[in-house]
Amino acid sequence: MNASTAAKPARMLSLDIFRGLDIGFMILVNNNGDERHAYWPLKHAAWNGFTPTDLVFPTFLFLVGISTVFSTASRMAQGASRMSIFLHTLRRAVILFLFGQLVNNFPYFHLDTWRVYGVLPRIAICYLLVATFYLVAPGWRSKAAVAVGALAAYWILMRYVPVPGYGLPGRDIPLLDPDRNLVAWLDRHIFSASHLYEHTRDPEGLLSTIPALATALIGMLTGIWLRTARPLAEKARGIALAGMGGVVLGAVWNFTFPINKKLWTSSYVLLAAGLSLLLLALSVWLIDLRNQSKDVRNQSRPDAAKSSAWSRPLLVFGTNAIFAYVFSELLAGAIDNIHMGAGVNLQQWCYRGIAHVVPNASLASLIFSLAFVAVCWVPTYVLYRQRIFLKI
């Protein structure tokens, strides 16, 4: 490992709290009481463009890249061999992928509608590839080169490669047409419509994994930067500057390659990464630098005494993020399939009960979402109190 990244910094509480905020918001937006009436920030953009909801997944993947650097460097410092670390990485990726199959297909697991793509499978694939890459070449230059190459290659594929049966994007068909694009075409040739989330396409499709890798690599570059021996305030300033650059580049590229979460376009990668970097810099300033100024040292495990009252609930989610997400998805699947009679499931029954008391449909939807997050927080808090941190 390079000398500049050999230093072992104290645990950054901001990373756990930022991850907790992201997971909490992910659970919130995935479980609107009524999707039709939910406030617009809590819904995905219909196609091009973005809302705060569209930033949740790339932020988590960005944090996966950071955590990979810290965990791999820590294991290497403890004397673990590269082969043992790779086997550990492979095991984690396989478990994540299998959890994804559980979440995607719960509770019926019908083979004729089995969905392979999804959030956890994409995380598993990206994690395995970037973690292996880091083991082989821990320097930052190779990560930056591959990230840039992935974004450029995806833009070329989506802009200049004809879609079989439809023609050239921008000439014969609209650029990023919802169904007549290379990502959707390829997914329909791998899986039948019943196996795709939106039947004609899938938001976590195979080809769009290329730019998703760039998202994880940007997180990895951030992790490498955070492990340097520079003062923490300087690191935070560098992250903030990089964030502003990402937002500007993403906004400019949007004019010729629109920001689109469902296709994970290159402009979307830069914009989302830029905003993630800015939020991370803010977290470092509010949490780590404040703790540092109080001469508080983080230990090997998160400690509630070092977090303020407002951040402690986020720390609970952040230290058991995968558990919280999987639990929320299984709970949502369960209440959607518990029927209360007259064609109403338990989720609808609960929402209608809230809407009966709260006449504003959007507010009632938000109250349901907040209650759902609170229910998911309880078992996660139990694990936290027992100091059980499920790292897979």
> For 254-267, what is each residue's pLDDT tens digit?
999 999 999 999 99
Mean pLDDT of 276-305: 74
> What band does 207 get if pLDDT is binned at 50, 70 and 90?
very high
Terminal alpha carbon distance of the chain: 25
CA gyration radius for the chain?
Answer: 21
Residue 298, pLDDT score:
44
Read out DSSP for 40-89? GGGS--SSBB--GGGGHHHHHHHHHHHHHHHHHHHHHHTT--HHHHHHHH
**Residues in the chain, overall count:** 392
Mean pLDDT of 151-162: 98
Question: CA 112, CA 36: separation in Å to the nearest integer?
Answer: 29
Mean pLDDT of 276-287: 96
Residue 2, pLDDT score:
42
Check residue 246 and give left, alpha or beta (phi > 0: left; psi -120 to 50: alpha): alpha
Question: CA 306, CA 323: separation in Å to the nearest integer?
Answer: 23
Instruction: Using CA atoms of 196, 202, 206, 207 in order, give the dihedral in degrees to the nearest 10.
Output: 140
Question: CA 42, CA 19: separation in Å to the nearest integer?
Answer: 18
Question: CA 136, CA 149: separation in Å to the nearest integer?
Answer: 18
Question: CA 303, CA 159: separation in Å to the nearest integer?
Answer: 49
Residue 342, pLDDT score:
82
Mean pLDDT of 210-237: 97
**Which is nearest to 290 in space by CA: 306, 301, 267, 276?**
306
Residue 197 main-chain phi, psi, to 5 deg = -60, -40
Residue 300, pLDDT score:
46
Residue 283, pLDDT score:
95
Burial of 118 from C-beta contacts in 10 A (0-12 / 13-18 / 19+): buried
Q: For the segment 5-55, what is each residue's pLDDT rounded down to a tens digit?
A: 444 455 689 999 999 999 999 999 999 999 999 999 999 999 999 999 999
Residue 178, pLDDT score:
96
Answering whether pTM is above 0.85, one says yes
Report yes or no: 279 and 18 within 8 Å, Cβ to Cβ.
yes
Residue 291, pLDDT score:
79
pLDDT of 284 above 90: yes
Among 7-21, 211-225, 241-255, 300-314, the minimum mean pLDDT is found in 300-314
Q: Look over the chain and give the mean of its residue pLDDT values, rounded to a whole number.
A: 92
> What band does 297 get if pLDDT is binned at 50, 70 and 90?
very low
Mean pLDDT of 126-150: 97
Residue 5, pLDDT score:
41
Residue 311, pLDDT score:
83
Residue 279, pLDDT score:
97
Residue 297 main-chain phi, psi, to 5 deg = -100, 130
> What band does 100 get if pLDDT is binned at 50, 70 and 90?
very high
Report yes or no: 290 and 256 within 8 Å, Cβ to Cβ.
no
pLDDT of 246 above 70: yes
Indicate the SS3 state at residue 152. helix
Report yes or no: 176 and 158 within 8 Å, Cβ to Cβ.
yes
Q: For the segment 44-81, what is each residue's pLDDT rounded down to a tens digit?
A: 999 999 999 999 999 999 999 999 999 999 999 999 99
Report yes or no: 125 and 206 within 8 Å, Cβ to Cβ.
no
Q: For the segment 312-356, what is each residue's pLDDT rounded down to a tens digit?
A: 899 999 999 999 999 999 999 999 999 998 889 999 999 999 999
Alpha helices in the chain (DSSP H): 13-30, 56-77, 82-105, 119-136, 140-160, 182-190, 209-226, 232-253, 266-283, 289-293, 312-319, 321-336, 346-357, 361-385
What is residue 197's DSSP assignment? Answer: T
Residue 1, pLDDT score:
36
Q: Which residues pair with 48 in a beta bridge?
A: 260
In the chain, the percentage of residues whose pLDDT exceeds 90 is: 88
